[in-house]
Amino acid sequence: MAQVPQTFFDALAVRTWCGLALESLGRAREEIDAINVYPVADGDTGTNMYLTVESAVAAVEAVFTAYDVGRPTLPDAARAMAHGALIGARGNSGTILAQLLRGMAQVLAGDGERAHTDGAGLRLALRRAADSAREAVVHPVEGTVLTVAAAAADAAGAARGDDCATVARAAFEGARTALAATPGQLPVLERAGVVDAGGRGLVAVLGALVQTFTGEAAPSTPARGPRRAAAPGSVPPAGAGECEDPEGAGGPAFEVIYLLEAGDAAVARLRTRLDALGDSLVIVGGDGLWNVHVHADDAGAAVEAGVEAGRPYRIRITHFGAGDAHTTGERAPRERVQRAVVAVVPGEGLAVLYGEAGATTVLARPGEPPASGELVEAVRRAHAREVVLLPNDADLRHTAAAAAEQARAEGIRVALIPTRSAVQGIAALAVHEPDRRFDEDVVAMTSAAGATRYAEVAVAERQSWTMAGICQAGDVLGLVDGDVAVIGTDVTRTAEGVLDRMLAAGGELVTLVLGDEAPDTVAEHLAARVRETHLAVDTVVYRGGRQGAVLLIGVE
């Protein structure tokens, strides 16, 4: 569909490009998954790239939403795109795509110099993207997305003209030509009769760039016909990311991915250690935040290496299933369980608590809400016929609803309980009984969540109008059922005021979830307060970790 084209790179162009790239990957996702034979034939390259861009889109939209008047600057939007892709990167292909976007953002945002907005700036951005992605891969291999990215940058550099549309077209055509040649560079692609899946995804992203600056959809890119079934044993186990000997035999059994807060020197040591532990090693990012991807037989050692380097979180460990290029021998597919609970939680401590109760969790860090694709992936990971979904945040209602619809389209029975806080989720999980009828279980969990009032104590980041009056930056806010009810200067006293208001209507159980910044004595003080004023009310205390709010309170 034709659209009003952008003429130069600004924040709106970044937003348009990200949105069109997501649409393009959405259309091509199944095709890309189907041709995914290298480095591991696990059929998820298109999905991983889609989820990575979806996270970038969410970050860019959040920047635009934050502006009541006007719009963000190009550096604001470009850095948001890069950060969103980094924290949402999935798999080998998504991780490399995140680094490609980061490299472009560094030029577009003018890191260390002025921002670049014209065709000449786009040339520099594409070159920086290709070079930084190659540097992030420990052992680059030709015939992969790295080759396609380099060809796009080369073609952009040779383009005649300095307008963004001309440069974008040249990059797209250069990438298409390189993609068509990938089977001649990787024997595993030639035998399967397909082009490189990661490269095909990058061409889709560059096609969206062309549409951004021309208003016209880019030409379609074939995958060189349907994938041919190879003879038994004819496709060698690649055992690598875009980074190992494609003819090498065998390969590790686990994919390990995590975000890491660490300095440059620590990451350099980590790179050496992980390279000795496994393969498919890609570490992208910078400025203290990194996305680490590796295939290893000892997943625990890969995580432990991250702990020694800094602070790993959003840790994801996937065992390659039967039929993957990393496995040998036959393995029966894992049977689906009847029912599972998937919950969004705001802190690592709550993730452990929910996990111990049997739930599959999605960690939502402050300012980084999960996208619908991440929730769908969690539902798939739960591997159940029936799933109860707990968003635990009023702002995630539409995201969770979209995820539920996608999962239902895949044949999974999903019930969405509109929990608005993690303490409501705890109440729902407490009455969950997987052995009873699904509808009865959902009704019981919904009733328990609805009977739980929720509150949080947080610190105001800026001056603002609230239901309780004007607050200043640094004030302690007590929110009951989503609205500010108390404004104070002390966490313990504000929490006490909130709790008194909540218990005025009665209650049987008080749940306290402490954030890392909560005073050491606040739980003991509030528990004593409950004992003194409400003899029949019990109190339970959990530690939530870095959950955004200083304290979460639930009253059942």
Residue with tokens 């432990």: 304
**What Cα–Cα distance (Å) separates residue 265 from each residue in 103, 270, 286, 287, 341?**
20, 9, 11, 12, 40
- The backbone torsions φ and ψ at residue 424, rounded to the nearest 5 degrees and listed phi first, read -65, -35
Q: Provide the 3-class DSSP secondary structure of residue 476.
A: strand
- pLDDT for position 57: 92
Structure tokens at 227: 């994938």
Strands (E), 118-238: none
Q: Minimal CA–CA distance to 83: which of 284, 303, 241, 246?
A: 284
Q: How far apart are the first and last CA of the chain?
A: 52
Each residue's pLDDT expressed in tens, for the chain with a length of 556 residues: 345 577 788 899 999 999 999 999 988 888 888 888 776 666 678 888 998 998 899 899 989 888 766 788 899 999 999 999 998 888 888 999 999 999 999 998 875 555 568 888 899 999 999 999 999 888 888 889 999 999 999 999 898 888 899 999 999 999 999 999 998 888 888 888 889 999 999 999 999 999 999 988 888 776 654 444 433 333 333 333 444 434 334 567 788 888 899 999 999 999 999 999 888 889 998 889 999 998 888 888 888 888 899 988 877 777 664 333 333 333 344 567 889 999 999 877 888 888 888 888 888 877 778 878 788 888 888 888 999 999 999 888 888 988 898 889 888 999 999 999 999 999 999 999 998 999 999 999 999 999 999 999 999 988 888 888 898 989 999 999 888 999 999 999 999 999 999 998 888 899 999 988 899 899 999 999 998 888 788 999 988 877 778 999 999 8
Cα separation of 279 and 197, whole Å?
19
Please answer whether residues 244 and 238 qualify as being in contact, where contact means their C-beta atoms are separated by less than 8 angstroms. Answer: yes
pTM over 0.85: no
Please answer whether residues 262 and 288 qualify as being in contact, where contact means their C-beta atoms are separated by less than 8 angstroms. Answer: yes
Q: Minimal CA–CA distance to 548: which of 516, 524, 523?
A: 516
DSSP 336: P
| Alpha helix (H) residue ranges in 410-452 | 422-430, 438-450
Residue with tokens 């953002």: 105
Q: Minimal CA–CA distance to 61: which of 466, 316, 312, 398?
A: 398
Identify the structural domains of the chain with CATH numbers, from first to last: 9-214 (1.25.40.340), 254-319 (3.30.70), 337-451 (3.40.50.510), 453-555 (3.30.1180)
Please answer whether residues 20 and 48 qualify as being in contact, where contact means their C-beta atoms are separated by less than 8 angstroms. Answer: no
